[in-house]
């Protein structure tokens, strides 16, 4: 069993930055990759970014590339999402997720564990 706990959300203004954290409850050797997803009100959950745990390869949805950075700290079993130049359309509940096996990086169904989510609100 893997438990994921997100933190770092909040209310900010457009152009501000936030860093989300996702603490992983157990040793991460069995995790293939971590991902961040988000769900805005009335919309479906969407892929934001992902990172492979061993090699650190990163992936981003086009709408955040160049503004968001995903990273991991192996020693702390923690994944981060640094979000810069935030826009009102980034407002959503952000979820981290862990996948134990490889596959299409943005496909939600391949992720085995999910956090409870953290709210990010960006005012204009």
Phi, psi angles (nearest 5°) of residue 89 = -70, -5
Alpha carbon of residue 95 to chain centroid:
6
**Closest by Cα among 105, 108, 92, 110 to 43:** 92
What pLDDT, in 10s, does the model give residues 10-61?
Answer: 999 999 999 999 999 876 678 899 999 999 999 999 999 999 988 889 999 9
What pLDDT, in 10s, does the model give residues 71-86?
Answer: 999 889 999 999 999 9
């Amino acid at each position: 069993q893997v438990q994921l706990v997100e933190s770092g959300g909040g209310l900010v203004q457009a152009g501000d930055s936030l860093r989300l954290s996702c603490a992983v409850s157990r040793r991460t050797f069995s995790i293939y990759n971590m991902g961040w997803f988000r769900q805005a009100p009335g919309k479906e959950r969407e892929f934001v970014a992902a990172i492979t745990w061993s090699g650190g390869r990163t992936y981003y949805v086009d709408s955040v590339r160049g503004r968001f950075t995903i990273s991991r700290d192996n020693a702390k079993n923690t994944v981060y999402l640094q979000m810069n130049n935030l826009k009102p359309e980034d407002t959503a509940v952000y979820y981290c997720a862990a996948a134990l096996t490889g596959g299409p990086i943005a496909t939600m169904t391949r992720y085995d564990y999910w956090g409870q989510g953290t709210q990010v609100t960006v005012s204009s």
